[in-house]
Structure 1
Amino acid sequence: MFDWLKSLFATKRPYKIQNLKKKRVGVTARNLEELTKKGCEIFKINPNELSIVLENDGTSVNTQSYFSKLPEQTSFIFLKAGETWNGLYDLISEVLAKSDSTILSNDERNRLRSFLLEHETMEKCKQIQESVKEEECNVRAETNTDHETWFNGIKSYKTKSDYMKNRAQNRIRSYYMNAKKRIEETTNLENKDDLLDLLNELSQELSNNQFHGGYFARTDASERICDEMGWFFCEGQFNQNVCEKQHKINPYISHTHRVMFSLWELDHIIEKSRVVIPTLLEAAKRKDDTQKLSWQKVYDLLFTRKNLKLVQKACHDKAARENTLEWRTFLIDYPS
């Protein structure tokens, strides 16, 4: 009630509204009710059949309190009954699935994120679909001489699998460095030396396994997550067995698909920062002289497919999860 009364005296702010036919209009409104009225008039939508969502991620906007927290120039999608909108990322993915164009520069991740957040993205998607030239699908090609455009910005790599192997290694290496930093920053812990020994064990095992670069390398039949052609299939949110939206991607197809794959995540089912590392520290604190820390337990949770799922951005749920770990499981007894 208070938010609604407050909105009556608010200054009009500029916003952008759009429907699925890609008609885009700039409007000003004091509150959600005023925005709704203007949008329904412009798009000829029955207010009783209307849903308003954010353009970026499809979040529903149905209360004045939430609307009032959104910044000026926020873009809204007006949906009629039966229409859905899952956000810009899904739209871009759909466009790229139909095209092998190389639309992005070498500054991959930053440019791509900027592209996804740009206000005119829907129109750009339409332009891509309408104007891009179809290139011959070189998905089977591996070397930089057989598919030169795929290697734009990464000329030092000889094969696609070499590059993808490096991408996987970098991700796994970042998990190790994150754990190492957390442990080294821990103070006033009596058994800190045991943790440092555990780090050495983890580092050695990672080296032995080449930092699991095979996860993304289609030529590594024993470890790859993809199929032999390079298709990766989303494995769904941490609490699901499958991806309900059936997301998939093949970064081996083109430069653009390769760039898009950088937004897929290796998701820890049991969270590394909120659960695994804190539970490890608790185990180190509580262990007695007859016990040692299990580096294998930690290794499996941080770096292996026992606790890692490949997910598309839309399926990467960052919400806090239930702690299912018991600190005692990180300890093993010394041989008697």
Structure 2
Amino acid sequence: MGKKEPYIVMNCTRTMKRLANASSFTTLLTNACSVLELRVDPVTVRVFMDHAGAEVTRQSWTFSRFRRFAMFVILRPGEEWLPTPPMHLNAQLQRGVDRSHLESIEEDDEWFVGLADKFTLKNQFLSWNSTSRIRGYLRNLRQAINKQVRDPFIRKRVFGPLLHKFKVKLRENGYHGCYFDRLSLRAICNEEGVFPCEGKYYLAMCDEDHPVKPAANRHSRKLFEKFEYDHQVPQCVLQDAFIQASQNVPRGMVLNWEYFYSMFFTRANVRLVNGIFCHEKGARPTIKLDEKSFFTDRKLEVFPESQPSPSMVLELSEEIIRVARAALPSLAEEKGQKERESLLKFNAETIYEAEINAPKLYFFGFR
């Protein structure tokens, strides 16, 4: 049994509003029926979040933390209820006419005031708004690697190819600009172009009134600029896990870079929140990474029909590097790292030339 917290409960007509203390979903139902004098079995009532309109179930209560004095509407069997229009959205539209149906700068030049000249369409700016944030996450990851990994050889050989894979996949996905593109099927907004605040990380949904319709007018656009992407698993935790996992791949396994990609850049771990009210920063002990997804079984890769260059072998085949390293003659320490690396490259290329007619099947992921 958890600690009792105060909540505000109302009947379906909002003519009665009372305070109910509850430590669980069951006690909320019981106390709400009591203070509202509903005279029904508490098990038969339904609970909805005021304004947001979402139904609160026993499961969502278990996996969410609702703020103190959150407002709930209690419905008896057979009662219907419509949520009140979001006050914040109404306030936005009161500050200017809703011109979301206009798209270009020629049609609604006021909307573009203060933006760079390159933006001539609303969707163009909104998509760029998303891509610029996603690009920033890749930049943050690169900076974290440079800070934590001192060895330039490891940065180049281990993390260089991984960052390249991230960049290629981000380009394929348009840096996920579709999340803010009102015309995209993957957009976070609804059909009317209203973007919701998805709430604090420990809530299943936002219990405040934070939706925004950025295409409506310039005031709404500025409000939307205060919205932020919130990583459920924070970036710093992801960065540390990625850096450690990349350098400690178990024998016979390969890093599951696509899992980390999804956690850094996609909706698998990213939600849209109001940056002022719902973006709580700091430690999140209740949310953990799935460590079982860090690695996958190594795969059998086949070289293409065209012969790979020696540099490709050096980049891709750790087995070639291992054999070449074993073939190195013992060098005195005073000869230095540069000379040893030069000889390593020479031997690797020599081994490649000797085996150029061998079958082009190699197992990768040797440790």
TM normalised by structure 1 equals: 0.58
**1:144 positional shift:** 0.9
Find 2:98's aligned residue among 119, 137, 141.
Answer: 137
**Mapped partners of 1:99, 1:277: distance in 2:** 37
- In structure 1, the residue matched to 2:177 is 213
**Mapped partners of 1:199, 1:165: distance in 2:** 23
In the superposition, relative to structure 1, how do residues 137 and 327 fare at CA in structure 2: closer, same or farther (>3 Å)? Answer: closer
CA RMSD of aligned residues (A): 2.5
* CA offset digits 1:80-139 (Å, max 9, x no partner): xx9xxxxxxxxxx967842558xxxxxxxxxxxxxxxxxxxxxxxxxxxxxxxx643212
Q: Amino acid of the residue matched to residue 98 of structure 2?
A: C
* CA offset digits 1:126-179 (Å, max 9, x no partner): xxxxxxxx6432121111111110011224322100110000000100011101
CA contact (8 A) 2:112 2:218 kept: yes
- In structure 1, the residue matched to 2:249 is 287
Larger radius of gyration: 2
**1:289 positional shift:** 4.6
Q: 1:238 is paired with a residue of what secondary structure?
A: coil
- In structure 2, the residue matched to 1:176 is 138
In the superposition, relative to structure 1, how do residues 219 and 326 fare at CA in structure 2: closer, same or farther (>3 Å)? Answer: closer
Q: How does 1:308-327 map to 2 (within 5 A)?
A: 308-313=270-275, 314-322=277-285, 324-325=288-289, 327=291
**1:185 positional shift:** 2.8
Could you list the runs of 5+ residues in structure 2 that have no partner in the other structure? 1-68, 70-85, 301-367
Q: 2:214 is paired with a residue of what secondary structure?
A: coil
**1:186 positional shift:** 2.9
Is 1:149 paired with 2:142? no
In the superposition, relative to structure 1, how do residues 99 and 330 fare at CA in structure 2: closer, same or farther (>3 Å)? Answer: closer
**Mapped partners of 1:318, 1:98: distance in 2:** 27
Find 2:209's aligned residue among 233, 236, 246.
Answer: 246
CA contact (8 A) 2:88 2:209 kept: no
Q: Amino acid of the residue matched to residue 216 of structure 1?
A: F
Is 1:98 paired with 2:91? yes
Find 1:277's aligned residue among 231, 239, 253.
Answer: 239
* CA offset digits 1:201-247 (Å, max 9, x no partner): 00000000010001111011x22101232101111111111101132
Q: How many residues align?
A: 212
- In structure 2, the residue matched to 1:264 is 227
CA contact (8 A) 2:254 2:298 kept: yes
In the superposition, relative to structure 1, how do residues 231 and 326 fare at CA in structure 2: closer, same or farther (>3 Å)? Answer: closer
In the superposition, relative to structure 1, how do residues 265 and 135 fare at CA in structure 2: closer, same or farther (>3 Å)? Answer: closer
**Mapped partners of 1:95, 1:272: distance in 2:** 29
- In structure 1, the residue matched to 2:188 is 225
**Mapped partners of 1:306, 1:241: distance in 2:** 14
**1:292 positional shift:** 2.0
**Mapped partners of 2:246, 2:109: distance in 1:** 51
CA contact (8 A) 1:237 1:316 kept: yes
TM normalised by structure 2 equals: 0.53
Is 1:305 paired with 2:298? no
CA contact (8 A) 1:150 1:255 kept: yes
Q: Amino acid of the residue matched to residue 210 of structure 2?
A: H
In the superposition, relative to structure 1, how do residues 311 and 135 fare at CA in structure 2: closer, same or farther (>3 Å)? Answer: closer
**Mapped partners of 1:335, 1:185: distance in 2:** 31
Q: Amino acid of the residue matched to residue 156 of structure 1?
A: K
CA contact (8 A) 1:168 1:213 kept: yes
Q: Amino acid of the residue matched to residue 195 of structure 1?
A: F
**Mapped partners of 1:240, 1:185: distance in 2:** 33
**Mapped partners of 1:185, 1:332: distance in 2:** 27
- In structure 2, the residue matched to 1:46 is none
**Mapped partners of 2:209, 2:92: distance in 1:** 19
CA contact (8 A) 1:282 1:327 kept: no
**1:326 positional shift:** 5.0
* CA offset digits 1:288-325 (Å, max 9, x no partner): 45222222011100110010111112011113112612
Find 1:235's aligned residue among 188, 198, 213.
Answer: 198
CA contact (8 A) 2:130 2:177 kept: yes
In the superposition, relative to structure 1, how do residues 259 and 185 fare at CA in structure 2: closer, same or farther (>3 Å)? Answer: same
CA contact (8 A) 1:150 1:254 kept: yes
Q: Amino acid of the residue matched to residue 268 of structure 1?
A: H
Q: 2:148 is paired with a residue of what secondary structure?
A: coil
Q: How does 1:193-212 map to 2 (within 5 A)?
A: 193-212=157-176
CA contact (8 A) 1:191 1:284 kept: no
CA contact (8 A) 1:216 1:225 kept: yes
